[in-house]
Amino acid sequence: MLAVPYSLAFESTDTNPTNDFVNIATSLVFCLDVVLQFNTALSHPRIPNTFITDRQAIAKQYVTGWFLMDLLSSIPVDFVTYLIEQQSSERHLHVLAVLKVARLPRLIKISRLSRILEFLRLPLEWKRWFLYSRYAHLIRLMTLVLAFGVTVHLFACVWFGMVADDDWAMVIYNANFEDVDPYLLSFYMSLQTILGQNQLFQSDHEYSFSSIVILVGAVVMAVVFGNVAILISNFYNDQNRYKGKMETLFSGMQLLRLPRELQMRIHEYYQAMYERYGTLDGNPENFKDELSKNLRVEVELFLRMAMIVRTPLFRACSNEVVRELVMKLRFQVYLPDDFVIVRGEVGYEMYFIQDGACQVTKAVIKRNSMRLCPKDGDTAPKRMGQGDYFGEIALLLNCKRTANVQAVEFSELCVLSREMFEDVTSKYTEDRAVIEKFITEKYDPDVLKQAVAQHDQNHGSDASSHDDAVVECIRKLTERVIQVETLVMDLESRFRMQQHFQSMAAKHSPGMSASPSQSHMSRQTSIQRGMVARQPSVSALLAAPPSLSIMRASISKPSLHNGSGTALPGQTSGDAGMATGAASSLVTQLTLDRSSSRRHISPVL
């Protein structure tokens, strides 16, 4: 692309080609390429991943294709022209001109350089890096600048070799080729013409050429500089987004009047997330939601593999449980001095250290601050690193934390909640038993007994609140039933009154009608009959069945039962299940009453 046009325009044919090692090497490469094409298998046009190795078929396709162009490109034209130049005469000049043009097929052969890249078999990672990395914009920018330079180079060669007169340098620039290199002056002139600068041309063909160059240059300049602006903007796109995020964050924190120390920690968090993961939303793994199930599992296992190998808890489980538990993990990051868990709070989650370090201490956190105050008899903090875990008792028991865990450095933790643990282990009872045994054996019996007591106490209060909710629900259902019964009474009275009017109209002749006083008396009588007919049903509902009164008395007690459904001390199993039975009876009665109401209402509607 560069050497062939330059040699055609600026090099002399009387130069000894034996001193040009680059040209010799190029000719040898082109000759070897011709030989290689006759020995290269062809891809089958209809069967994928299949190659044709028949030499006759390979030769036939190559001869009918690029063979002639490759053959002309491999001819050492410089040697031939040099030999003819040594025996120069008037009849040999046209032969030299034709031979110089014979170098042009090498330009066309450059379009097949992609075959060389395929032959080299560059790694796929390199291709992805050149195409999709952050520096891909810089590579494209350099490619555009290089393409612009090649365009100017081609115009310079055409100008000097085909268009310009012999004295053009003296006329335009008042220069002599003995003082200035012809190629540099031609390149400068072509660049000025592309940019639209005025030149002092002499002939029509010079003006015609400059017009073509200006038109092509306008298009090239628009494409090149437009793409350069886009590529530069894309190259700094991440930095611009980070700067915009920080400006919005700073403005929001100022409006909220957050303390200066807290603002600094928030800024450090976003800066760490951007520098480590290149994200501004706090979720470095958001692309996983777009993947298929199998790819998502492979990504999770790869990211957590170092942690899984070092965690004894995962080694005690089957592969299926490990895979499902890993898919349930939530990724969280903690800055230095952040508290992961605090002593005294009720725990619901277990933590695995994927990267970083944390320390465990039993110190007390001072009120209205996050400073640790040493506790009597407190030992030195225990340090935990990659593969360690803590808070596992929260998966089994509803108890308080017995220690503080604080991040010593920037740490990546994986969190497993009790809900997710129950969801997975409910399908694998054997693995659940192994995990429970592994966790309980780690703790001191006294500490475990205290945790069980807290669990029973917390679970009992939850059951009491659950019973109160059941009573409130039953009360609302009772009020709703009374409203439905009242509505049914009114509709039935209207329906009977309508039937009474129809029967009265049938008894009288068409010319006679009932008096207003008689109609009013019959209407009042029908309403009273309807109310009397429906009164027993309402009375029975308001009186409430015996089970409902017993249930209300039972639920008014402090605690009915524990979480497992067994009766607490001082109560019978019948009392413990009475609330549920009464609620079921009332719901069934409400359903039957609504069904009967629909049967009465439908004829009227």
Of 21 and 416, the structure prediction assigns the larger pLDDT to 416
What is the rounded CA–CA span in Å between residue 81 and residue 70? 19
- Indicate the range of 309-323, 384-398, 527-541, 549-563 predicted with least confidence: 549-563
- Structure confidence at residue 340 (pLDDT): 92
Q: Measure Cα distances from 304 to 311, 331, 422 in Å.
A: 11, 10, 21
Supply angle C-alpha 534, 539, 543, rounded to 5.
160
Q: Residue 355: phi, psi to the nearest 5? A: -155, 150
Q: Contact 57/42 with Cβ under 8 angstroms?
A: yes
What is the reported pLDDT for 408? 92
Structure tokens at 521: 């008396």
pLDDT for 57 beyond 90: no
Please give the Cα distance from 342 to 400 (Å, whole number).
9
Q: Which secondary-structure segment (H or E) carries 352?
A: strand 349-355
**Quick one: how far is CA 279 from the chain centroid?**
11
Is residue 120 very low, low, confident or very high in pLDDT (cuts 50, 70, 90)?
Answer: low
| Mean pLDDT for the stretch of residues 536-540 | 43
More confident residue, 456 or 263: 263
- Model confidence at 237, in pLDDT bands (50, 70, 90)? confident
Q: CA nearest 293: which of 324, 332, 329, 330?
A: 324
CA distance 96 to 81: 6
Amino acid identity at 112 = R
State pLDDT tens for residues 490-519. 888 888 888 888 888 777 655 444 444 444
Alpha-carbon 243 to chain mean position: 22
Rounded to an integer, the average pLDDT of 305-311 is 83
Mean of the per-residue pLDDT values of the chain: 74
Which residues touch 43 (CB under 8 Å, ≥6 apart)? 50, 51, 52
Task: Tell me which residue of 492, 485, 488, 489 sits closest to 590, measured CA to CA.
Answer: 485
Under 8 Å between Cβ of 545 and 585: yes
Domain 292-443 is found in CATH 2.60.120.10? yes
User: SS3 of 557, please?
Assistant: coil
How far apart (Å, rounded) are the C-alpha atoms in residues 241 and 249? 12
What pLDDT, in 10s, does the model give residues 322-354?
A: 889 989 999 999 999 899 998 888 888 999 999
Domain limits, the chain? 1-121, 239-277, 292-443, 464-604
Query: Strand order of the sheet with strand 358-361?
Result: 339-341, 404-407, 358-361, 382-384
pLDDT average, residue stretch 532-554: 41
Per-residue pLDDT averaged across 154-170, rounded?
Answer: 85
Do you know the residue count of the chain? 605
- Four-residue CA torsion sign, 39, 45, 50, 54: negative
Q: Which parts of 159-292 fold into alpha helices (H)?
A: 168-173, 182-194, 204-235, 237-256, 260-277
Structure tokens at 333: 């990051």
| Contacts with 250 (C-beta within 8 Å, 6 or more apart), sequence order | 263
Residue 251 confidence (pLDDT): 92
Q: What angle do CA 120, 124, 130 make, to 5 degrees?
A: 95
Percentage of the chain beyond pLDDT 90 is 11
pLDDT tier for residue 374 given thresholds of 50, 70 and 90: low
Position 256 scores a pLDDT of: 92
Whether the predicted pLDDT of 407 surpasses 90: yes
- Tokens representing 138? 């810089």
d(CA 604, CA 182) in angstroms, rounded, equals 107
Regarding predicted confidence, which is higher, 103 or 97?
A: 103
Give φ, ψ of 577 to 5 degrees: -100, 5
pTM of the model: 0.54
Structure tokens at 605: 């509607």
d(CA 296, CA 326): 11
Average pLDDT (541-555) is 39
So what's the pLDDT on residue 248? 92
- Say if CB 365 and CB 404 are below 8 A apart: yes
Which tokens belong to 586? 């009332």
Q: What is the C-alpha to C-alpha distance for residues 605 and 583, in angstroms, rounded to an integer? A: 32
Which residue is associated with the tokens 């999770």?
Answer: 300
Give residue-wise pLDDT tens across range 165-179.
Answer: 878 888 888 777 777
- Token pair for 325: 């538990």
pLDDT at position 559: 38
- Evaluate if residue 358 carries a pLDDT over 60: yes
Helix count and strand count (H, E) for the chain = 25, 12
CA torsion 286→385→276→335, rounded to 10°? Answer: 90
Dist. CA 296–CA 283, nearest whole Å:
15
Under 8 Å between Cβ of 74 and 34: yes
Q: Tokens 């220069």 label which residue?
A: 175
Residue 572 region by backbone torsions, left for phi larger than 0, else alpha for psi between -120 and 50, else beta: beta
Element (H, E) at 390: strand 389-390
Q: Which two tokens stand for residue 484?
A: 């439905």
CA–CA separation, 554 and 578 (whole Å): 8
**Residue 17 vs residue 502, higher pLDDT:** 502
